[in-house]
C-alpha cells in the first residue's frame, strides 16, 4: 500500500520556520543555542516529581498510537532521524563502509517501489563511529548529505584527562566530522559541581567549532531524575546543540521517563532563552513501536518542528531492521525474516 507523501511531510512542516529559526515553540521562532552564563539558582530550583513522570509516561504509552498509512509515514520519519551507529571493539573499515551504504539507502529499492516513496529519497541523518573511522565514513558518504558523527572525550566513560578529551574533539573536527558526541564527567553531577560541569561542556563546545555538539549525560548512571534534569539544564547553558540520554554502554539507557524530563528541560530552556536544543535518545531502542512512542513524546512535548533530523535523533544500531520489517508488512501484508534486512 503506497504511503501518502503529504502525511510524511506534515510531520515536519519546514514552511512554518523563519529563515533564521531552527524550530518553533507555541508559534514562537527559536534560534540555535549559543549558551548563557551559568545560572545556579535555576539549576538548584530544578525539581522532578518521579511518580507524576511515571504516570504521564504510562498514559502516553497507553493512548498514543498511529495506524496504517500514518504509521508508515511515522516510521519513515524515524528513519530520517537516525544516527546509524557502530561502536564495537571489533569495528573494521569494511563494516563502516557497509553501514554507510545502508545509511545512503536504508530502505530496499524493491520496498521503496511497493510503498511508492522513491521520490522522497529517504536516508538516515548521520553515521556515528569512533574517531578512527571518520575518514572512512566521510569517503563512503561523500555527496549523500548524510553526516558523520564521531564519539569523543574518552567515550564511553569520559574519565580521561580534560586536555586529552579536548584534543580528541579537535582531531575529529580536523578529520572532517560534522558532529561530535561528547561524554560528561558524571561525578560532577553526583557532587553538585555545576560550575565544573559547565566549564567542561563549554570547553568541549569551543573545541567543536562549527561541528554540532551532542552532550551525552549517561542518564543510566545519574541515579535520580532530578540529577538528569539539572545536568540537562547545565549542558544547555554551556552551549549544547543536543542533549543525549546515553552512550548505549550503560546497564540502563534511554527510557521514556528520562526522555520526558529532558524534553521538558528543553522546553523550559526554549521558553526562557528563545533558543532551541535538540534531543537524542540512544541505547535500547530496538523496535518500530518504540520509535513511534518517542516521536509521539517529542510531538506532544516540543511540537512538530522538533520531529526532524535537525532537532531530533535516534541513536540506533538494530532499530532500522525492525522498521523495515514493519514497512514491508504495511506494503505486502506479510512480515519478512530479519536476515533479509541486514544493517552492516
Residue 50: its pLDDT value, please?
A: 95
What is the layout of strands, in order, in the sheet containing 275-276?
23-25, 28-32, 275-276
Mean pLDDT of 84-95: 96
The residues spanned by each domain of the chain are: 5-14+27-340
**Does position 180 have pLDDT exceeding 50, yes or no?**
yes
Alpha-helical runs (H) found in 186-317: 186-190, 194-208, 225-237, 256-273, 288-301
343 and 79 in contact (C-beta within 8 Å)?
Answer: no
Each residue of 110-160: pLDDT tens digit?
999 999 999 999 999 999 999 999 999 999 999 999 999 999 999 999 999
Cα–Cα nearest to 106, from 88, 126, 132: 126
Task: Give the architecture-level CATH label for domain 5-14+27-340.
Answer: Alpha-Beta Barrel (3.20)
Each residue of 187-221: pLDDT tens digit?
999 999 999 999 999 999 999 999 999 999 999 99
Grid coordinates representing 107 are 530502505
Give the three-class secondary structure for 118.
Answer: helix
279 and 301 in contact (C-beta within 8 Å)?
Answer: no
User: Measured between alpha carbons, how far is 165 from 215 in angstroms, rounded to an integer?
Assistant: 13
**Does position 20 have pLDDT exceeding 80, yes or no?**
no
Angle between the N-to-C axes of helices 288-301 and 50-63, in degrees from 0 to 180, rounded to the nearest 10: 120
Give the three-class secondary structure for 216.
Answer: strand
Query: Which residues does 299 contact at the CB level (< 8 Å), separation at least 6?
Result: 11, 306, 307
Cα–Cα nearest to 256, from 242, 272, 271, 245: 245
Q: What are phi and psi of 24, to 5 degrees?
A: -130, 155
**Does position 335 have pLDDT exceeding 50, yes or no?**
yes
205 and 240 in contact (C-beta within 8 Å)?
Answer: yes
Catalytic residues: 181, 244, 280
149 and 37 in contact (C-beta within 8 Å)?
Answer: no
Burial of residue 330, with CB atoms counted within 10 A of its CB: 0-12 exposed, 13-18 middle, 19 or more buried: buried
Residue 254: its pLDDT value, please?
A: 95
Residue 213: its pLDDT value, please?
A: 98
Handedness of CA 178, 80, 324, 296 (dihedral sign): positive
Name the one residue in this structure whose C-alpha cell is 539549576: 43
What's the chain's average pLDDT? 92
Residue 8: its pLDDT value, please?
A: 54
What is the reported pTM?
0.93
User: Measured between alpha carbons, how far is 170 from 166 in angstroms, rounded to an integer?
Assistant: 6
User: Measured between alpha carbons, how far is 344 from 342 in angstroms, rounded to an integer?
Assistant: 6
Give long-range contacts, CB 8 A cutoff, 24+ apart: 136-145.
136/93, 136/96, 136/97, 137/96, 137/100, 138/175, 138/176, 140/96, 140/97, 140/100, 140/101, 141/100, 141/103, 141/104, 144/103, 144/104
**Does position 12 have pLDDT exceeding 50, yes or no?**
no
CB atoms within 10 A of CB 137: 29
Return the H-helix or E-strand segment holding 276. strand 275-276
Amino acid at each position: 500500500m503506497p504511503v501518502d507523501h503529504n502525511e510524511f511531510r506534515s510531520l515536519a512542516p519546514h514552511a512554518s520556520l523563519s529563515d533564521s529559526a531552527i524550530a518553533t515553540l507555541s508559534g514562537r521562532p527559536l534560534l540555535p543555542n549559543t549558551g548563557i552564563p551559568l545560572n545556579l539558582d535555576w539549576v538548584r530550583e530544578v525539581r522532578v516529581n518521579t511518580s507524576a513522570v511515571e504516570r504521564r509516561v504510562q498514559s502516553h504509552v497507553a493512548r498514543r498510537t498511529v495506524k496504517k498509512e500514518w504509521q508508515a509515514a511515522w516510521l519513515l520519519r524515524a528513519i530520517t532521524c537516525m544516527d546509524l551507529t557502530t561502536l564495537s571493539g571489533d569495528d573494521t573499515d569494511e563494516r563502516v563502509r557497509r553501514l554507510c551504504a545502508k545509511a545512503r539507502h536504508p530502505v530496499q529499492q524493491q520496498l521503496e517501489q511497493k510503498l511508492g516513496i522513491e521520490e522522497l529519497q529517504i536516508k538516515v541523518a548521520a553515521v556515528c563511529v569512533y574517531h578512527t573511522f571518520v575518514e572512512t565514513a566521510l569517503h563512503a558518504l561523500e555527496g549523500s548529505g548524510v553526516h558523520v558523527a564521531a564519539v569523543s572525550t574518552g567515550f564511553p566513560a569520559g574519565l580521561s584527562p580534560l586536555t586529552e578529551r579536548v584534543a580528541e574533539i579537535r582531531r575529529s573536527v580536523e578529520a572532517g566530522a560534522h558532529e561530535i558526541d561528547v561524554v560528561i564527567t558524571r561525578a560532577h553531577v553526583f557532587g553538585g559541581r555545576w560550575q565544573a560541569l559547565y566549564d567542561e561542556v563549554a570547553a568541549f563546545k569551543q573545541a567543536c567549532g562549527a561541528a554540532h555538539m551532542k552532550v551525552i549525560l549517561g542518564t543510566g548512571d545519574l541515579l535520580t531524575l532530578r540529577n538528569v534534569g539539572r545536568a540537562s539544564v547545565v549542558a544547555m547553558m554551556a552551549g549544547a546543540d543536543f542533549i543525549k540520554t546515553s552512550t548505549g554502554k550503560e546497564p540502563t539507557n534511554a527510557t521514556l521517563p528520562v526522555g520526558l524530563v529532558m524534553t521538558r528541560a528543553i522546553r523550559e530552556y526554549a521558553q526562557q532563552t528563545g533558543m532551541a536544543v535538540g534531543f537524542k535518545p540512544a541505547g535500547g531502542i530496538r523496535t518500530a513501536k518504540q520509535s513511534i512512542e518517542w516521536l509521539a513524546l517529542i510531538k506532544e512535548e516540543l511540537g512538530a518542528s522538533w520531529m526532524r533530523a535537525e532537532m531530533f535523533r535516534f541513536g540506533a544500531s538494530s532499530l532500522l531492521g525492525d522498521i523495515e520489517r514493519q514497512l514491508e508488512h504495511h506494503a505486502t501484508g506479510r512480515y519478512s525474516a530479519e536476515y533479509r534486512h541486514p544493517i552492516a
